[in-house]
Amino acid sequence: MKKPVIVIILISSAVVLICLLSSLYVVDMRLQAVITQFGKPVRIVTEPGLYAKAPFIQEIRYFDKRLLDWSGEPSDILTRDKENIGVGTWARWRIDDPLKFYTSLGMESRGKGVLDEVIESAVKNVVSSYTLREVLRNTNRKLEYTTKELEEADIIKRVTITMGRDKIVEEIREMARRALEGRYGIDLVDVRIRYINYVEAVIPKIYDRMRSERIRIANKYESEGRREEAEILGSMKKELERIESEGYRSAQEIKGQADAEAMKIYADAYKKAPEFYSFTKTLATYESIFNKQTHLVLTTDGDYLKYLKSFQDKEMLITANDGR
């Protein structure tokens, strides 16, 4: 064969191969496809497999048919009880109508942009209608507090959970679904609150409020401590006075009984030997009165010196008898 013929055959084969390759396409089981011709959709493929299309004039747009994740930016929201909080949310969504999704949005990134607007709007509208406690809690279950004062403060507020976090999240999800329904070919599977926190601007105020609450509790404890201290000291002083009074009374009773017993003994002794008792008592008074610095002026016939005089008379009589 001549060279031109071979070249023509090779070129023709290449063209046929290129046309064949451009007319065949594979849809993965994780994807779905929209076939467009001159920009207009002409066919939707949702099942996996090998398919054919018109070469060159038709194009394929693939869209994921799995669950897709969405994470929104924190939204600053003022709750019904005037608490400024930041709410972070996440969602799961999928493209359930690729034709409508392609004609309305065209790309998955635009779908995420729509979710940004719809979900964040629903979160702000719903959360701002409830108090912070409603958004945080699900039930009226009694909480455990670090101090009794905080528990009493919570009881005084009489906070009652009527909706709860789960129902609020469900309300957000339904509101977002209604906003998306029939418009973009998006199925919003789920919406959840990822976190709730105070916005950075109000955190110092929250700390100041917590600090003031703790100072108030500490002052209350200190005041109660001083009151109990005064009561304990007063009771102790009263008890001490009672003990001293009872001790003094008991001592006086014992002393009186001892004095009475001593007087009785003295009286009994005096009755048995009056002269001897008088003698011993007189000698005792001599011993307690007389010393080197004692000066007494008494008459010679005084009763106080009768035992001295009798002792002196007896001594003179003994001396006289010894002289004879």
Output the DSSP codes for 205-263: HHHHHHHHHHHHHHHHHHHHHHHHHHHHHHHHHHHHHHHHHHHHHHHHHHHHHHHHHHH
Q: Say what the pLDDT of residue 178 is.
A: 92
133 Cβ partners below 8 Å, 6+ apart? 81, 159, 161
Give residue for tokens 């001490």.
240
Q: How many other CB atoms are found less than 10 A from the CB of residue 43?
A: 14
Give the Cα separation of 241 and 231 in Å (integer): 15
pTM of the model: 0.58
Provide the residue ranges of all domains of the chain, joining segments of one domain with +: 3-63, 68-143+154-198, 286-318
Q: What is the pLDDT along the chain (324 residues), one digit of tens a residue?
A: 556 766 666 666 665 556 555 677 888 889 998 888 888 888 888 888 888 787 778 888 889 989 999 988 888 888 888 888 889 999 999 999 999 998 888 888 888 999 999 999 999 999 999 988 888 888 766 666 666 656 666 655 666 778 888 899 999 999 999 999 888 999 999 999 988 887 776 667 767 777 887 788 788 888 888 899 888 988 898 899 889 888 888 888 888 888 888 888 877 777 777 777 777 777 777 677 767 777 766 666 666 666 656 555 555 444 545 544
* β-strands 68-71, 75-78 pairing: unpaired
DSSP code for 63: E
Cα atoms in the Cβ-side hemisphere of radius 13 Å centred on 304 = 10
80 SS3 class = coil
What CATH homologous superfamily does 68-143+154-198 map to?
A: Band 7 domain (3.30.479.30)
Number of helices (H), then strands (E), belonging to the chain: the values are 9, 9
Which residue spans within 48-108 are E strands per DSSP? 49-52, 58-64, 68-71, 75-78, 84-95
Phi/psi-derived region of residue 40, left when phi > 0, alpha when psi is between -120 and 50, beta in every other case: beta
CA distance linking residue 166 with residue 77, whole number of Å: 18
Q: 3-class DSSP state for residue 87?
A: strand
Q: What is the pLDDT of residue 300?
A: 62
Query: Which CB contacts under 8 angstroms, 24+ apart, belong to 138-141?
Result: 138/164, 138/165, 138/166, 139/164
CA dist list (Å): 193 to 70, 90, 135, 138, 198:
12, 6, 10, 13, 14
Task: Please identify which residue in the block is written with the tokens 């034709």.
Answer: 99
DSSP state letter for 165: H
Which residues, 6+ apart, have CB-to-CB distance to 36 below 8 Å? Answer: 42, 58, 59, 60, 61, 102
